[in-house]
Chains A and B, each alone.
Chain A
Amino acid sequence: MSKSNFSRRGVLKTGMVASAGLALPQYLSAQESGYTNAPGDSEVILGFNVPQTGPYADEGADELRAYELAVEHLNGGGDGGMLPTFSSQELDGTGILGREVKYVTGDTQTKSDAARASARSMIEKDGAIMITGGSSSGVAVAVQALCQEAGIIFMAGLTHSNDTTGKDRRANGFRHFFNSYMSGAALAPVLEAAYGNSRKAYHLTADYNWGYTTEEAVRTSTEAMGWETVNTVLTPLTQTDFSSYIAPVLNSGADVLVLNHYGGNMVNSLTNAVQFGLRDAQANGQNFEIVVPLYSRLMAKGAGANVKGIFGSTNWHWSLQDAGSQAFVRSFGTKYGFPPSQAAHTCYVQTLLYADAVTRAGSFNPCAVDEALEDFEFDGLGNGPTLYRGEDHQCFKDVLVVKGKENPDNEFDLLEIVEVTPAAQVTYPADHPQFAGGALGSCNPGA
């Protein structure tokens, strides 16, 4: 038999103990420094979260090479890469704020869940102070949100969707890479000059977030100069044979095909389009043309001879002649034996920008880093004068319009730069309709 007598004193006592018990963990989880994973005096750990398996594994491998190179340069090894050409001369090769840079790597598998699991283990187990990487917008957006919650800075790698700094922007996340809107704005004038302003376009779009924003951006910019959009068709991301999507294009009355595809999708759809003879076809009394809004060297390599003469845009290309790009290509080439891709470039630059911001702020506190990066203007990192806009944490810089080379000299020399579109031409207000619906919130130092 159990007898329970509740006395007022007993209830009060139990209640106090219980509430103290509940409050204790929160109190104890707060660290003295006031932010998550404050580094010790001798070393600081960065987390490189890239796809090592799955469809973007090639890009991921190149990103990882760039990160390793950046760590080497930050710690004073190698030839220093872009450190001497960077307009901010705070970094001196002694690590970050005198602490040696160490890193941990993880595999995102190009899946949001896996990427978040990997990032969480870096934060919770390895004590990483900053996470960077990602080769797809879905992953970048997911990890960016996680870092915001955990109070860690996220420096986005290759992510091109408008949403990363649009609808899904976060105060702790920063993007150096360009976006769909910029691709559209940079491509439109070049397309007008090359193909005239009375074209009819047919869009094939990868059926996911990045595809939608890219299609919208290209459609808006080309329609503004007088083109007409005949049709837009969504294709499944997992599609490998695009014949059934290409076949109706010729009879649709269109004379330009826009392929809003990336990676393996683009390689396959472009190859199919060329096999169907679209490039030799005539429509409306004009030559039929194909456009690929986002190009990368790795894709051009996959599509081989099919890319010849096809326009697209890219963030950076190794053949640029400025001092920063040349220094980077030189040190990357010396270490790995081939030129870096645009993914490698943006990841390298992001690591340097983070290290520089910490040094200028004099603290690893995410809020201090936030402040140092917002509205930061810099030069010498390969894209000319660049602005990290404070309103949406997006970099504004020149965008390259490229064309598949007719007579490539070697296997890396596949694209030629047609035009460098100045930053002013691709700048948009932070509340532009294609970027609406997001809010940065305020920086979160965690802990």
Chain B
Amino acid sequence: MLGLEKKDFRLLLIVIGLTMFAPFILNPFPEGAEMAQFNAGYPDLMQRFVIFGIFAIGFNILFGLTGYLSFGHAAFLGAGSYGAVWMFKLLSMNVLPAIAISVIIAGLFSLLIGFISLRRSGIYFSILTLAFAQMSFALAYSVLTPITGGETGLQLALDDPRIFGASQTATGNIPVPSLFGLEMRSSFEWEVGAWLFTFNAGYYLAAAFMIFAFYMSIRIFRSPFGMMLRAIKSNQTRMSYTGLNARPYTLAAFVISGMYAGLAGGLMASMDPLAGAERMQWTASGEVVLMTILGGAGTLIGPVLGAGMIKYFENIFSKINETILHSWFAFLPDGLENFVVAMIYPFIGKGWHLTLGIVFMLVVIFLPGGLVQGGQKIAALFRRNKPEDAKPNATEPAE
């Protein structure tokens, strides 16, 4: 189906199902309940899940397939955002041209950086990309302030010279990004008993893009081109001895993943029309590396899981403050309550980085294949019993 094998098609269907029903899946607790703190089904976070999912899927095409570890991918995300916001300022508030230009700009930018950085491999390549990304960050932060808005970021203003569409709404406000009139921030809220589910227009647009991005990534993974990229990862020297020039392939992978990053940047700007220089900082580049490794580098679904996990920590765990903790443990005697809160507090709230760090370490040590490997192990645990019952004396073929 759609040029996919049965197994891949099933995976695609699962991803489609998860994204379409995300408002339900992410809001398991009723409004007003204690556990509602852990609900993640509000538009901003759902948008972030899929947008960073796209970013990580793209990064995985480069890192997972060729093994080239880029530490500067955030630069493309940032360049894409700036492109998109400029389109809003100059052309129209429709998101489609903005997203198109962000992909194109990120593609060109990654072509330039990739052309230079890919002359080296291994750690030298990583350092080169890191240097370029930090350079872009520094430029965006100060030197290019007229184009990028510097520290305050690039924002829409009331006097933007928009070619199509008014620069102000009738009530004297800045218009919001929309898809042919459907505003990205508009939501439909559905109340079912104590539950409240939010269906946001921007989220579904971003989700549609992510499903497309995911499908493209499966096709690339299963194509001869993908096979070539894997060959580069396993032994590049051997490839050059056989007379094959690997650089066009790596450059193509680099540009493709740069365009994915640009798409993510464009979507981010469409959901929230602002582009800031921090999006290009090395910490942002490091984050996508973490997402990919946490989820499972080189696997199809892994990066999406990793992105979801990190964003969940960043947005949900960081908001649990001391007062909330005290209300959770209020049933304990006073002294014990304070003790328990004091023990837990360093790991949540502003300490969410610490918890994430511990999780990351545990995953890297015990599950080098990321969360996907964890899932496979659990699945194997349940599956093993059946075949063993059927053929107790079956021998494993040596691979």
Do chains A and B stick together as partners? yes
Q: Are B174 and A137 in contact, with the CB atoms below 8 A?
A: no
Q: Complex formed: what's the CA distance from A118 to B45 in Å?
A: 10
Query: Which residues of B sit under 8 angstroms from A395, Cβ to Cβ?
Result: none
- Which of these, A53, A121, A207, A444, contacts B142 with CB under 8 Å? A207
In the assembly, what is the distance between CA of A113 and CA of B155, in Å? 12
Q: Mark B33-44, 1 if CB is under 8 A from A, else 0.
A: 000000100111
By a CB distance below 8 angstroms, the chain B residues around A142 are 152-153, 155, 274, 276
Residues in A neighbouring B397, C-beta threshold 8 A: none
Chain A residues, CB < 8 A from B141: 207-208, 237
CB <8 Å contact, A141 and B152: yes
The A interface, classified by DSSP as helix, strand, loop or mixed, is: helix
Cβ of A439 within 8 Å of any chain B Cβ, yes or no, is yes
When chains A and B are docked, how far (Å) is the Cα of A114 from the Cα of B42? Answer: 16
Distance, CA A145 to CA B138, complexed state (A): 24
B306 contacts partner chain A, Cβ-Cβ < 8 Å: no
Pair A444/B201 contact, Cβ less than 8 Å: no
**Chain B 182-200 interface mask (CB, 8 Å, partner A; 1/0):** 1101111100000000110
* Beta-carbon contact of B174 and A121 below 8 Å: no
Instruction: Select one of B145, B156, B272 contacting A120, CB under 8 A.
Output: B272
B158 interfacial by beta-carbon distance below 8 Å: yes
Interchain nearest-CB distance for B23 vs A (Å): 12
Contact of B350 among A28, A107, A149 (CB under 8 A): A107
Q: How far is the CA of A28 from the CA of B182 in the complex (A)?
A: 13
Given known contacts A117-B44, A208-B151, is B138 in contact with A236 (CB within 8 Å)?
yes
CA distance A117 to B316 in the complex (A): 11
Q: Interface stretch among A18-26, A173-181, A324-332, A357-365? A: A18-26
Q: Does A397 contact B (CB under 8 A)?
A: no
Q: Is the CB of A121 within 8 A of B172?
A: no
Residues in chain B near residue A439, CB distance under 8 A = 157-159
Given known pairs A29-B189, A146-B272, A441-B168, the reply for A121 and B278 (CB within 8 Å) is no
Q: 1/0 per position for A218-241, CB-CB distance to B under 8 A?
A: 000000000000000010110000
Check A138 for interface membership: any CB of B closer than 8 A.
Answer: yes
- Asked whether, in the complex, the Cβ of B186 is within 8 Å of the Cβ of A441, the reply is no
Contact A209 B171 (CB under 8 A): no
Q: Which residues of B contact A112 (CB under 8 A)?
A: 152-153, 274, 276, 278
- In the assembled complex, which residues on chain A have CB atoms less than 8 Å from the CB atom of B183? 26
Question: Quick one: which of A146, A150, A441 contacts B158, CB cutoff 8 A?
Answer: A441
Q: How large is the interface on A (under 10, 10 to 19, 20 to 34, 35 or more residues)?
A: 35 or more
Q: Evaluate contact between A125 and B39: CB separation under 8 angstroms.
A: yes
Q: A25-B186, A142-B153, A439-B159 are in contact. Are A121 and B350 (CB under 8 A)?
A: no
- Report the interface size for chain B: residues with CB under 8 A from the other chain: 49
In the assembled complex, which residues on chain A have CB atoms less than 8 Å from the CB atom of B188?
Answer: 24-25, 28-29
Asked whether B48 is an interface residue with its Cβ less than 8 Å from the other chain, the reply is: yes
Bound-complex Cα distance A141 to B279 (A): 16
- In the complex, residue of chain A having the shortest beta-carbon distance to the beta carbon of B159: A439
Contact (A138, B153) CB under 8 Å given A236-B138, A444-B173: yes
A25/B201 in contact, CB under 8 A: yes
Separation of A113 and B321 alpha carbons in the complex (Å): 21
Whether the Cβ atoms of A441 and B187 lie closer than 8 Å is no
Instruction: Report if B243 contacts A (CB, 8 A).
Output: no
Contact with B along A411-445 (1 / 0, CB 8 A): 00000000000000000000000000001011010
Per-residue CB contact flags for chain A residues 97-118 toward chain B (1 = under 8 Å, else 0) read 0000000111100011110111
**A-B interface contact total, Cβ < 8 Å:** 130
Measured between beta carbons, the chain A residues less than 8 angstroms from B138 are 236
Known: A124-B42, A208-B142, A444-B171. A52 touches B350 (CB 8 A): yes
Which A residues lie within 8 Å of B201 (CB)? 25
Contact A442 B319 (CB under 8 A): no
B150 within 8 A of A: yes
In the assembled complex, B210 has its CB within 8 A of some CB on chain A: no
Distance of B274 from chain A, by nearest CB (Å): 6
Pair A441/B174 contact, Cβ less than 8 Å: yes
Q: Which residue of B lies closest to A172 (CB)?
A: B173
Residues of B within 8 A of A209 (CB): 145, 150-152
Say if the beta carbon of B315 comes within 8 Å of chain A: yes
Residue among B44, B187, B319, B353 making CB contact with A29, cutoff 8 Å:
B187
CB distance from A233 to the nearest CB of B (A): 13
Q: Which of B142, B189, B318 sits near A234, CB closer than 8 Å?
A: B142
Decide if A168 touches B319 in the complex (CB within 8 Å): no
Report the minimum CB–CB distance from B18 to chain A (whole Å).
20
**From residue 9 to 51 of chain B, which have CB atoms closer than 8 A to chain A?**
39, 42-45, 48
CB <8 Å contact, B321 and A121? no
Q: Which of A74-117 contact B (CB under 8 A)?
A: 104-107, 111-114, 116-117
Q: Could you pull out 20 A-B pairs where Cβ atoms are within 8 angstroms? A: A22-B181, A24-B188, A26-B183, A52-B318, A53-B353, A57-B350, A117-B44, A124-B44, A125-B39, A138-B276, A141-B155, A142-B152, A142-B155, A149-B185, A168-B152, A168-B155, A208-B150, A234-B142, A439-B157, A442-B173
Query: Which A residues are within 8 Å of any B CB, using their own CB?
Result: 22, 24-26, 28-29, 52-53, 57, 104-107, 111-114, 116-118, 120-121, 124-125, 137-138, 141-142, 145-146, 148-150, 161, 163, 168, 207-210, 234, 236-237, 439, 441-442, 444
Given contacts A116-B272, A142-B155, A441-B168, 11 further A-B contacts (CB under 8 A): A105-B319, A106-B318, A111-B276, A118-B315, A118-B319, A124-B43, A124-B44, A124-B198, A210-B151, A442-B173, A444-B173
Please provide the 4 A-B residue pairs with the shortest distance between their CB atoms, ordered closest to farther. Answer: A442-B172, A208-B151, A120-B44, A52-B350
